[in-house]
Structure formats: structure tokens, C-alpha cells
């Protein structure tokens, strides 16, 4: 019996994503000036107001107000009618020193400075379990419904920022949702429903507004998304798709004025759209000593390389930790019955443990996580993104500028494929 599966995405102007982007901009600035910084920073945004709170251990000082305003400006909240505007919003900082009780389990001093000593000394920043997932459904090994939901909003954003004359009424806040029909053997058959809600300028009449927005989404945005896909996925689009475009009607009031935003409230959008599993810990605002973030990236790295190596068509990877302890409590692998080798998932997990060092320090080093690479993760998902090297410029509180070259989305690299193939005789 065919079944339906749905995933959603939100734009960079969604209030929760505004909060995530501010928190991750602070992370990047702390790491740019002091790579050893330990940071857990939460952001709240509402009408005309930003509240920053969290714990920091660092040797640098940041102008957090300036950084926050730059993020808000870049997102596009630059007009007073939005009731949340980069130059005028109030910013309250309640950031303070990190707990010494927590830090003692993460920042142990070692006499021997070699890799093994450091890897055994640095314990996990917290207990918990983290999940990674990969599937052959798309070229980036991501679930199709989420990938399409992201693409729709990225195209809306690109039009708003680069071709404003094409759809001139767009405002920063938006959401999308895609429902796909699957066959019994888990193969996508068709797109059943697409939902798009976009904030917009005021129109003279609601009827004209709804007709114009629906026409532009279906005739401009959707074809551009379709063109990005390989032919077999393009065939999933047909004239039977049900579209709900701004289904509640008017959406002029949006962003932090329409809803309060908080860091870490879009963790399913950030990961796999409800496919696989999630350990519950948010990513944004956390330095890589927090395994909520680093181990989630590491398990995605494991999962993607397993599928790319041909070991399985789909896989869920779980790792778990005790606070202050370097060695994981366990590694779990579920290939969903798609493994291409005559081994149990438990036996596969034991072999994978030998190929990927999952101690927190080892993850930081392997994936280059002590670099300022996090602002780019804070909208449109942390997984399935393009691995690339970029140059970024940071300005210190004293006006000093620093340019750094960093590698983004290192956990998306297929650099362990041959190791996995050799280990499993593929």
C-alpha cells in the first residue's frame, strides 16, 4: 500500500532561524579570535527586541550588539514596518562565564601533547545520543521531501535578494512543506502536496494578493526548483500536485514581530525532516566540544560515506556519550534491511567503530570543527550542504580585521568511501 511522507523547511527570515543565525554568528566570531573558546549561546527575538544569554569561556571580547545587528541586516530586516529592524531593535546581553564544574570534564590538562593524550583527556561536553542518517534518494544523500522543501525556500530567498524585480513583494519570513507518495518498496512515486507560506508586502485586496502569490510560486519558483533536479526526480512533478499557497490568506505580519523566535527550535528542519531519528539536542550556539553538535555531524559523515561506499542504501547511525568521558558509550547502526554484505547491523557497527574515531577531540580534528564555519549552517539545514573552502573576514571589537580560510561542511565529504569498501570487501 503506497504511503505519504512529509517534511518542512523554514527560511532564514523565520524567527527561530533568526535566533539560530545570531547564535552561530557569535560562535564564529569567538572561534575566529580564540579557537579554544567554549560557548553555549541562546538567542530570543521578538518585536523590536533581541535577548542574548549563555555561557562562555574565552580569551577574546566581542561587540555582540554589532554582530547581532549585522546578522539581522543580512537576513533582510531593514525596514521599520517589519517591527523588527537591524538598526533600531534593542539588544540585551546576559552572557556570562562557563561553569567551572562542566569545564573540568572537557578541558583537562595533559602533560603529553600528542593526539592520543588529548583525545583521551577531552571528555564529552554532555551526556546524550546523537543520530546521523543518509539515503540514496537524492544526489546529496538526503531525504527527498526535506531536500525539496529547502530548495523551494532557497529559491525564494535568491529571488528576494538577487532578483527583487521578479517577485517584488517578498519579505524575509517563509515556510514550505512537501508531501511525497512512496511505493511499498520505499521508492518516491510522485509529489502529492506542496505548501508554501511567504511573508509579503501589503496588497490592495486579499483576493488579488492570493492569486498573484500563487501564480508566482507555481510558475516561477517551482520550475526553477525542478530544473535543479536529475530527470528521474523531475518526473515526480505533475499537474496533479495539490498546492496550498499562503493558505491562511494575508501574511504581512511576520518574522520576530509575528512570532517569538528561539535558538534550537527547528532541529528537525536542521537535520533530516523527520526521517531517521534525532537525539533532541540543538546545534546552533554551541562550540564543537558540545557533542550535541559535533557528534551529530560525525554520525552524518559516517552514514553518508557508508551509503556512498555501497555498503547500504539507507542507514541510521547513533552514538552516545557520558559527560566528561571521551570514549562513546556505544555505536548503533540500522541499515533498514538494505545492507549489501552478509553481516548483521551489529557486526557492521563493530567494523565501522574501527574506521571512525568518535572521541570528541578526534571528531573536532577530523572535521576541522574549531574553525569559524557555523554561520553557514544556521539556515536551510546543517546536512546535505556543499563542502567548499571559503575566505571569511571578521572584525574585532577594536576594529582589527582578520581574514581566515575555512572549509565548510566537512562532514559532507566522501573521504572514507575507499576505507569502507576495503574493510567490507566491496
The answer to the question of whether 265 is labelled as a binding residue is yes
The answer to the question of whether 266 is labelled as a binding residue is yes
The answer to the question of whether 259 is labelled as a binding residue is yes
The answer to the question of whether 313 is labelled as a binding residue is no
From edge to edge, which strands make up the β-sheet containing 314-321? 128-135, 314-321, 330-334
Residues 6+ apart with CB under 8 A from 341: 311, 348, 424, 425, 426
The answer to the question of whether 173 is labelled as a binding residue is yes
The answer to the question of whether 175 is labelled as a binding residue is yes
The answer to the question of whether 200 is labelled as a binding residue is no
The answer to the question of whether 42 is labelled as a binding residue is yes
Interaxial angle between packed helices 291-308 and 417-424, expressed in degrees from 0 to 180 and rounded to the nearest 10: 60
Cα dihedral across residues 102, 297, 44, 145: positive or negative = negative
Catalogue the E-assigned strands of 162-255.
170-182, 188-200, 242-245
| Gap between the Cα atoms of 324 and 417, Å rounded | 31
| Gap between the Cα atoms of 219 and 236, Å rounded | 16
The answer to the question of whether 118 is labelled as a binding residue is no
Judge whether 285 and 71 are in contact, CB under 8 Å.
no
The answer to the question of whether 282 is labelled as a binding residue is yes
The answer to the question of whether 8 is labelled as a binding residue is no
Picking from 74, 256, 249, the residue whose alpha carbon sits closest to that of residue 160 is: 74
The full DSSP string for 332-349 is EEE-TT--SSSS-HHHHH
Q: What grid cell was written down for 351? A: 567494523
Catalogue the E-assigned strands of 34-167.
38-46, 49-57, 90-97, 128-135
Write down the residue that cell numbers 527575538 correspond to. Answer: 45
The answer to the question of whether 226 is labelled as a binding residue is no
The answer to the question of whether 334 is labelled as a binding residue is no
The answer to the question of whether 290 is labelled as a binding residue is yes
Query: Residue 317: in which H helix or E strand, if any?
Result: strand 314-321
Annotated binding site for K(+): 42
Annotated binding site for Mg(2+): 16
Annotated binding site for ATP: 14, 173-175, 250-251, 259, 265-266, 282, 286
Annotated binding site: 14, 16, 42, 55, 98, 173-175, 250-251, 259, 265-266, 282, 286, 290
Annotated binding site for L-methionine: 55, 98, 259, 290
Amino acid at each position: 500500500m503506497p504511503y505519504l511522507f512529509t517534511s518542512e523547511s523554514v527560511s532564514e527570515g523565520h524567527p527561530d532561524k533568526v535566533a539560530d543565525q545570531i547564535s552561530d554568528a557569535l560562535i564564529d566570531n569567538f572561534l575566529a579570535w580564540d579557537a579554544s573558546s567554549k560557548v553555549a549561546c541562546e538567542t530570543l527575538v521578538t518585536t523590536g527586541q533581541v535577548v542574548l544569554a549563555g555561557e562562555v569561556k574565552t580569551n577574546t571580547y566581542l561587540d555582540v550588539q554589532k554582530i547581532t545587528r549585522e546578522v539581522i541586516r543580512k537576513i533582510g530586516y531593514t525596514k521599520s514596518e517589519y517591527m523588527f529592524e537591524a538598526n533600531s531593535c534593542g539588544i540585551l546581553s546576559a552572557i556570562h562565564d562557563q561553569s567551572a564544574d562542566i569545564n573540568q570534564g572537557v578541558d583537562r590538562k595533559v602533560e603529553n601533547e600528542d593526539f592520543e593524550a588529548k583525545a583521551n583527556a577531552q571528555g564529552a561536553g554532555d551526556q546524550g545520543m546523537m543520530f546521523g542518517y543518509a539515503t540514496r534518494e537524492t544526489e546529496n544523500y538526503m531525504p527527498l521531501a526535506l531536500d525539496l522543501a529547502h530548495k523551494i525556500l532557497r529559491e525564494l530567498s535568491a529571488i528576494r535578494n538577487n532578483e527583487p524585480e521578479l517577485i517584488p513583494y517578498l519579505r524575509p519570513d517563509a515556510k514550505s512543506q512537501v508531501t511525497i507518495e512512496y511505493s511499498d518498496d520505499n521508492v518516491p512515486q510522485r509529489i502529492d502536496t506542496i505548501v508554501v507560506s511567504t511573508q509579503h508586502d501589503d496588497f490592495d485586496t486579499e483576493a488579488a494578493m492570493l492569486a498573484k502569490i500563487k501564480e508566482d510560486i507555481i510558475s516561477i519558483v517551482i520550475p526553477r526548483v525542478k530544473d535543479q533536479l536529475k530527470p528521474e526526480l523531475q518526473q515526480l512533478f505533475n499537474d496533479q500536485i495539490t498546492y496550498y499557497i499562503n493558505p491562511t490568506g494575508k501574511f504581512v505580519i511576520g518574522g520576530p514581530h509575528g512570532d517569538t523566535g528561539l535558538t534550537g527550535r527547528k532541529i528537525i528542519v536542521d537535520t533530516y525532516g523527520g526521517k531517521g531519528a534525532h537525539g533532541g539536542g540543538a546545534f546552533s550556539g554551541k562550540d564543537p566540544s558540545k557533542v550535541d553538535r559535533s557528534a551529530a555531524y560525525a554520525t552524518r559523515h559516517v552514514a553518508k560515506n557508508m551509503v556512498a561506499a555501497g555498503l547500504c542504501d539507507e542507514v541510521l547511525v547513533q552514538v552516545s556519550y557520558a559527560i566528561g568521558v571521551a570514549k562513546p558509550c556505544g555505536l548503533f547502526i540500522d541499515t533498514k534491511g538494505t545492507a549489501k554484505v552478509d553481516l548483521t547491523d551489529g557486526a557492521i557497527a563493530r567494523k565501522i567503530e574501527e574506521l571512525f574515531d568518535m572521541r570528541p577531540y578526534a571528531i573536532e580534528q577530523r572535521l576541522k570543527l574549531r574553525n569559524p564555519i557555523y554561520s553557514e549552517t544556521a539556515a536551510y539545514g546543517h546536512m546535505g550542504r556543499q563542502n567548499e573552502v571559503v575566505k571569511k573576514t571578521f572584525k574585532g571589537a577594536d576594529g582589527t580585521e582578520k581574514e581566515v580560510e575555512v572549509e565548510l561542511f566537512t562532514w559532507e565529504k566522501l573521504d572514507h568511501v575507499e576505507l569502507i569498501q576495503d574493510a567490507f570487501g566491496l
